[in-house]
């Protein structure tokens, strides 16, 4: 039996993690903000019903941006006496987020979780979910062992996640820390299920909106690689490594070792969604300039920051992750081979506002 404390519930990855791990033996204390009370209760009920268990997910209302996570003394003491694993996923992932908001949640929030972990006498592992894009504008081969401040960042999300990872990394001498840096996360490979249409789904939003056009051009030369990973790879890999004794003190790139180029992804999505192939191309700078116009962004449902990754030339070395995952046989599925389920789910749900990210 193990007791887990998980932040970021009922977010998609935390939701999927609990589905994978939930059993009759473990307890999951799930921290959620007050505004997510109803959704958290609904998701917890659905997961327990699906897994055939009850009373194993315990919801705790709190706020990582507040001192002591805004928990009462009695709850703090209960958690202090029981929690063995902390999985910190709560963050603002929005590429267009303002610095102040991102800093408050991603940096101050992580600092508060760090303090919480330092007070847990039974702690066996502190798992922190960072992002591969803490690399910022660094290019070339990027190693798991590196945590180097780049000359610049593409957005405040990258910047604040870098600063937060630095805070967690500094605890490796004091706590049993494991850090994960996922690539761009998409829905499940088998069903296509996801919780929101962001990341690679922005391209689908654009193609869906422009489906009336006789031709759709490519954007730029499409020569950069984009690292997209399915959520089940992230959950299975992190569950295995998050309990592996050899993973203590390590940082892992949970990325696709064989990513595709922008042009390959772009063409594949366009074909699966609209049965068209790109004709001609428009310069990337022109496409970026058009997305600076709010009406264009809102119509296409695409964040302007998304195009930054169309021209970024970095590659994530995941040798450490591959080596430690090999005995478990956990591998990243081929992105293009699972395109069908991804597009099918999108088509079935593209008119549901629940899945769409607000684009300003």
- In angstroms, rounded to a whole number, what is the distance separating the alpha carbons of residues 44 and 110? 24
Q: Report residue 356 as tokens.
A: 């769409």
Q: Which residues contact 186 (CB under 8 A, 6 or more apart)?
A: 194, 199, 200, 201, 228, 229, 230, 231, 335, 342
Q: Which DSSP category does 356 fall into?
A: B
C-beta separation of 324 from 244 below 8 A: yes
Report CA dihedral (321, 322, 325, 330) to the nearest 10 degrees: 120
Q: Which residue from 180, 204, 205, 248 is spatially nearest to 8, judged by alpha carbons?
A: 180
C-beta separation of 12 from 194 below 8 A: yes
Q: Do residues 168 and 321 make contact, with C-beta atoms less than 8 angstroms apart? A: no
Are the C-beta atoms of residues 309 and 224 closer than 8 Å to each other? Answer: yes
Query: Environment class of residue 166 by beta-carbon count within 10 Å: exposed (0-12), middle (13-18) or buried (19+)?
Result: middle
CA-CA-CA-CA torsion sign (290, 296, 297, 302)? negative
**314 DSSP β-pair partners:** 140
Taking the C-alpha atoms of residue 270 and residue 282, their distance in angstroms, rounded to an integer, is 16
Are 176 and 121 within 8 A, CB to CB?
A: no
With a threshold of 0.75, does the pTM exceed it? yes
Residue 279, Cα to own-chain centre: how many angstroms?
32
How far out from the chain centre does Cα 246 lie?
24
Three-class DSSP category at 217: coil
pLDDT at 345: 96
* 18 contacts 30 by C-beta, under 8 angstroms: yes
Output the tens digit of pLDDT for each of the chain's 360 residues: 799 999 999 999 999 999 999 988 899 999 999 999 999 999 999 999 999 999 999 999 999 999 999 999 999 999 999 999 999 999 999 899 999 999 999 999 999 999 999 999 999 999 999 999 999 999 999 999 999 999 999 999 999 999 999 999 999 999 999 999 999 999 999 999 999 998 889 999 999 999 999 999 999 999 999 999 999 999 999 999 999 999 999 999 999 999 999 999 999 999 999 999 999 999 999 999 999 999 999 999 998 888 899 899 999 999 999 999 999 999 999 999 999 999 999 999 999 999 988 787
Residue written as tokens 């990872």?
Answer: 165
Taking the C-alpha atoms of residue 37 and residue 28, their distance in angstroms, rounded to an integer, is 16
Handedness of CA 328, 329, 331, 336 (dihedral sign): negative
* Residue showing tokens 């709560």: 90
What is residue 104's DSSP assignment?
A: I
CA distance 269 to 174: 46
| Helix intervals (H) in 22-60 | 37-51
Beta strands 260-261 and 225-226 are antiparallel
Is 293 buried (19+), middle (13-18) or exposed (0-12) by CB count in 10 A? exposed
CA dist 47 and 19 (Å) reads 6
């Amino acid at each position: 039996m193990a007791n887990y404390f998980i932040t970021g519930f009922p977010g998609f990855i935390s939701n999927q993690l609990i589905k994978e791990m939930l059993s009759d033996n473990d307890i999951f204390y799930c921290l959620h903000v007050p505004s997510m009370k109803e959704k958290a209760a609904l998701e917890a009920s659905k997961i327990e019903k699906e897994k055939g268990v009850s009373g194993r997910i315990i919801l705790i209302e709190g706020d990582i941006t507040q001192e002591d996570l805004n928990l009462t003394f009695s709850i703090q003491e209960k958690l202090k006496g029981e929690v063995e694993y902390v999985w910190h996923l709560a963050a603002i992932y929005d590429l267009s987020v303002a610095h102040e908001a991102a800093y408050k949640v991603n940096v101050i929030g992580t600092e508060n979780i760090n303090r919480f972990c330092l007070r847990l006498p039974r702690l066996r592992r502190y798992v922190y979910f960072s992002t591969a894009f803490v690399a910022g504008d660094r290019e070339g081969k990027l190693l798991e062992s590196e945590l180097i401040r780049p000359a610049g960042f593409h957005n405040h999300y990258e910047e604040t996640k870098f600063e937060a990872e630095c805070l967690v990394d500094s605890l490796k001498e004091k706590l049993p820390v494991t850090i994960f840096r996922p690539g761009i996360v998409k829905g499940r490979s088998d069903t296509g299920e996801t919780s929101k249409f962001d990341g690679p789904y922005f391209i689908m939003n654009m193609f869906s909106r422009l489906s009336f056009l006789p031709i759709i051009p490519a954007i730029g030369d499409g020569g950069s690689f984009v690292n997209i990973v399915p959520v089940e790879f992230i959950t299975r890999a992190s569950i295995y490594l998050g309990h592996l004794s050899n993973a203590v003190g390590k940082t892992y790139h949970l990325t696709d070792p064989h990513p595709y180029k922008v042009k390959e992804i772009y063409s594949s999505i366009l074909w699966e969604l609209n049965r068209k192939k790109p004709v001609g191309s428009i310069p990337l700078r022109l496409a970026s300039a058009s997305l600076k116009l709010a009406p264009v962004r809102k119509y296409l449902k695409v964040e302007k920051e998304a195009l930054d990754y169309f021209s970024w030339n970095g590659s994530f070395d995941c040798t450490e992750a591959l080596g430690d995952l090999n005995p478990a046989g956990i591998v990243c599925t081929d992105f293009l081979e699972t395109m069908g389920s991804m597009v099918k789910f999108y088509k079935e749900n593209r008119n549901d506002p629940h899945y769409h990210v607000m684009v300003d």
